[in-house]
């Protein structure tokens, strides 16, 4: 009976080891995906971040990158802990999983908070940023972001193209009698196309760029949230397997 019991325990431990190894491989891939989403947010969409007064959106991306790096390192550590059958390594592995889980909860909470305040922030700040900072000294990053925003989302002005009438740059001689920036034009390669603000020449979108940018950021926050929830669910499974393997192993001296 004792031999059969020991044999069953050994089989159970081996099964747990391979389950945990499979989990760690998937976890490592997931870590790469999390890190990629965070890097994509900062690299590809960094221009739009400069148009936001709040740093929560950028902070959420940095948290994702940090979590992704820790996840990948943890995946490697988990494989080592699994095959070496060392309870000490399993304890470290479990603590790291828990830390990642808490980081993802933090990123999720920040994303949710920002989701709630995004509309008000854009209403209060986007128009002011476009009117006051476009083509102003030491504001090249804002100018680039506004031009990219208007061309990529085919919009003009914060709420409408008429917002540009109050622009510091449009009112100056440097605008060369433009009514709107050339990035508002449907064909911006035409020189000084911003002088003519007719709907046939420039983008006239209901809700302006605020609606377009808000929808973009909300969709991106949903991606961040979905990735975070997916990884968190996987982690719970991993922590369960870790506890099972930890209990199945014989105690080792410290």
pLDDT tens for 59-73 read 777 877 887 888 788
Minimum mean pLDDT range among 98-102, 168-172, 192-196: 98-102
CATH number of the domain within which 146 lies: 1.10.1450.10
In this structure, is residue 77 part of a structural domain?
Answer: yes
Alpha-carbon gap, residue 57 to 52, rounded angstroms: 9
In this structure, is residue 254 part of a structural domain?
Answer: no
In this structure, is residue 7 part of a structural domain?
Answer: no
In this structure, is residue 2 part of a structural domain?
Answer: no
One domain, residues 127 and 154 = yes
In this structure, is residue 4 part of a structural domain?
Answer: no
One domain, residues 127 and 228 = yes
One domain, residues 230 and 173 = yes
Residue 222, classed as helix, strand or coil, is: helix
118-134 pLDDT, tens digit each = 777 777 788 888 999 99
| Count: domains in the chain | 2
- Asked if 11 and 243 touch (Cβ cutoff 8 Å), the reply is no
Query: What is the four-CA torsion angle of 190, 192, 196, 197, rounded to 10 degrees?
Result: 90
- In which domain, by residue range, is 146 found? 112-234
One domain, residues 130 and 107 = no
């Amino acid at each position: 009976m004792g031999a059969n019991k020991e044999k069953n325990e050994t089989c159970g431990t081996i099964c747990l080891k391979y389950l945990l190894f499979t989990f760690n491989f998937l976890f490592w891939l997931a870590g790469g995906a999390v890190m990629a989403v965070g890097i994509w947010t900062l690299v590809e969409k960094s221009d739009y971040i400069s148009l936001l007064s709040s740093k929560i959106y950028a902070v959420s991306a940095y948290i994702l990158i940090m979590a992704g790096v820790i996840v990948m390192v943890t995946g490697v550590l988990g494989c080592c802990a699994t095959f070496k059958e060392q309870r000490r390594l399993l304890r470290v592995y479990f603590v790291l999983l828990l830390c990642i889980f808490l980081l993802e909860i933090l990123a999720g909470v920040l994303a949710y908070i920002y989701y709630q305040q995004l509309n008000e922030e854009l209403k209060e700040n986007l128009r002011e940023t476009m009117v006051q900072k476009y083509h102003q000294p030491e504001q090249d990053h804002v100018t680039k972001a506004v031009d990219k925003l208007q061309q990529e989302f085919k919009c003009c002005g914060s709420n409408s193209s008429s917002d540009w009438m109050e622009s510091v740059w449009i009112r100056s001689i440097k605008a060369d009698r433009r009514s709107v920036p050339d990035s508002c034009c449907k064909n911006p390669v035409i020189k000084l196309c911003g002088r003519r603000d007719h709907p046939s020449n420039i983008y006239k979108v209901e809700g302006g760029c605020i609606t377009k940018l808000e929808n973009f950021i909300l969709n991106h926050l949903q991606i961040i949230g979905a990735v975070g929830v997916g990884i968190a669910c996987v982690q719970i499974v991993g922590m369960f397997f870790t506890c099972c393997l930890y209990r199945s192993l014989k105690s080792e001296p410290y």
